[in-house]
Amino acid sequence: MTIILVHGGAGGAGPERRDPALLAAVRLGLAQACAAGQRRLRAGASALDAVAAAVEVLEDDPVFNAGRGCALTRDGTVELDAAIMDGASGAAGAVTGVGVLRSPVLAARLVMERSGHVLLHGAGAEAFALGMGAERIDPSWFVTARARADLAAWQAAEAAAMRGTVGAVALDAAGRLAAATSTGGLTGKRPGRTGDCPVIGAGTWADARVAVSATGDGEAFLRAHFAGRVALLVEHGRGVAAAADDGLELVRQRGGTGGCIALAADRTWAMPVTTTALRRGLAIDGEPPRVAVFPEDELTPV
């Protein structure tokens, strides 16, 4: 059995509840990401290949806060973060503060496989990835009208909606797990800010037992060592759903909200959330992808 879970971010449900066209676009984007990863798994590819393919689709979709459509800093600039981890080998790679790489998750994979490091930042990360063949793109490509409107609302001291993050976890036919996460961060963040997404053990983790990708208030997830904590609980016998719930409770105690997707080697999975939306999807073997946005919703085909 192969399984892939994706998420398109936790946060407020207001935009999708007010705009049926946006809701439909979010659901379609989640299904397309699931399908991209599922195709890799059905062809015999690794879980690592599947999560990279799924997250790359979400990065290219302007309705999500990763790659195109990302949140903007208070200066109106683009600073993207991503991470990827292979549960079979324990290898991991991440980039933070990049702005000219079309696919941050693929840059993170290059860091993992070809740099000898785990985390590269800013211009150094860009130079390395471009030298390895990553696609360069003008930063203006990432900026959408929605991102500008969110920044304007933030600058006017209005509450800009949490845009979340994107991510994927997968289990392949050989029983290997992997996780990947990518984000544009917070609207109005200070230039140079890094949240939990690219920090291995905070927003992203995979080992032989469980794979986790988180979304929400990054500072609280960092302080909770969220993904690593969930993995440690699973290692000590907790079910994946209970472990994820316990992790989110600590995030709450640290002053944050959010959600995650978590997938265990025993084929159990969880998608808990403490906000009014978790954009999420699931595909198992050859079944059609199923998606949901609001916490009360069942996963259904698009």
The residue type at 204: T
Query: Smallest Cα–Cα separation from 90: which of 228, 266, 219?
Result: 228
The residue type at 64: F
Alpha carbons within 13 A on the beta-carbon side of 150: 26
Q: Is 215 a catalytic residue?
A: no
> Edge to edge, what strands does the sheet with 210-216 contain?
204-206, 210-216, 258-264, 269-270
Q: Which residues, at least 6 apart from 128, have a Cβ–Cβ distance to it below 8 Å?
A: 110, 111, 115, 120
SS3 state at 297: coil
Separation of alpha carbons 208 and 112, rounded Å: 18
- Kindly name the residue from 2, 73, 96, 165 that is annotated as catalytic: 165
> Edge to edge, what strands does the sheet with 177-183 contain?
119-121, 92-98, 80-86, 177-183, 166-171, 3-11, 277-284, 290-292, 300-301
Which residue has tokens 């909606």? 161
Separation of alpha carbons 102 and 225, rounded Å: 28
Which residue has tokens 């997707």? 261
Active site residues: 165
